[in-house]
Amino acid sequence: MESLQLLVSGLANGCVYGLIALGFVLIYKATEALNFAQGDMMMLGAFVTLGLTNDHYWALPFWVSVPIALLLMGAFGYLLEITLLRRMSGQSQIAVVVLTVALGFIIRFLAGAIWGHEPQSLESPIAGVNVRFSGLVLGLDEVAVILVTIVLTGLLYLGFARTRLGLAMQAASQNQLAAYYMGIPVKRVSALIWCLSGVVATAAGILLASKGSIDPNSGFLGIKAFAAAVIGGLGSLPGALLGGLVIGVIEPFAARHVAAGFSQVVPYAVLLLVLIIRPSGILSQVRDKKV
């Protein structure tokens, strides 16, 4: 029973990692750019919702502030793309990495300046309510995290595979120039993907902030999400979720069974191991070119 409890809380944590990784993979899948600021966008989204909802700030009803926050963060992602990232097209990935790391500095500073550096939690209706499933005690927040993650991953996966916009995104990523020749509005597509990724990041942030607490440094969770995306296979949406779950489940079990002081390295050791055995992740997206 105890293992089961650990498993479920691990799954819930893993879903948060998976959600952050999802936003990360979206951008990678459509523009081949690595957004190191994804964790910070998640943090910002959480703080925007918190600023709208909590009594201490604007005290709007939760279900009103969530759509507003999603919209705001979507607009933020869109603006980021058209002001900064668009100018980076065709440049090396490292330059984009450095750019987004610097962006993370600024976002962290902004959040700290506006909402302070103390950890705060979101006053959401799903926080602190327990649900019982035949002896298993689950927080409603954990159930919500798992459900939202599964629904979002499914929707995004279908969106990429079935809709015109999804196909346009895939085409733009595989060969920008050819996609442009085929009449795909490449610029708008990549702006939209940043917008979408801002929305997904906010969803992750809201769930994280109602599960526990956030502070401006919560963005560093992005590194774990990053590891999750790579374990799953960079560029694969189900892979991001899978990687997140792997890391999320490993953590509580490692903390339980591995000696203290050694347990926090286990996820990264697993990451290295996966990369050595399967260089492009579990659900590999790398294919050989057919000539």
State the minimum distance, in angstroms, from the CB of residue 222 to other proteins: 12
State the minimum distance, in angstroms, from the CB of residue 267 to other proteins: 9
| Cα 45 from Cα 185, distance rounded (Å) | 28
State the minimum distance, in angstroms, from the CB of residue 29 to other proteins: 9
State the minimum distance, in angstroms, from the CB of residue 51 to other proteins: 16
What's the Cα-to-Cα distance from 184 to each of 28, 164, 168, 169, 191, rounded to whole Å?
18, 10, 6, 9, 13
Residues that bind other proteins (CB under 8 A): 31-32, 34, 84, 87-95, 97-99, 101-106, 108-110, 112-113, 117, 173-177, 180, 223, 226-227, 230, 234-235, 261-262, 264-265, 268-269, 271-272, 275-276, 279-280, 285-289
58 phi and psi angles, rounded to 5 deg: -90, -20
State the minimum distance, in angstroms, from the CB of residue 6 to other proteins: 22
Find residue 214's DSSP bridge partners.
Answer: 120
Q: Which is nearer to other proteins, 7 or 180 (CB)?
A: 180
Q: Which is nearer to other proteins, 62 or 115 (CB)?
A: 115
Q: Which is nearer to other proteins, 6 or 84 (CB)?
A: 84
Q: Which is nearer to other proteins, 131 or 265 (CB)?
A: 265
CB atoms within 10 A of CB 98: 12
Q: Which is nearer to other proteins, 4 or 178 (CB)?
A: 178
Q: Which is nearer to other proteins, 23 or 139 (CB)?
A: 23
DSSP string, 26-37: HHHHHH----TT
259 alpha-carbon distance from chain centroid: 30
CB of 182 closer than 8 Å to CB of 42 = no
| Cα 169 from Cα 278, distance rounded (Å) | 26
State the minimum distance, in angstroms, from the CB of residue 102 to other proteins: 4
Q: Which is nearer to other proteins, 71 or 187 (CB)?
A: 187
CB of 216 closer than 8 Å to CB of 108 = yes
| Cα 258 from Cα 269, distance rounded (Å) | 13
| Cα 164 from Cα 246, distance rounded (Å) | 32
| Cα 93 from Cα 15, distance rounded (Å) | 27
State the minimum distance, in angstroms, from the CB of residue 278 to other proteins: 10
CB of 78 closer than 8 Å to CB of 198 = yes
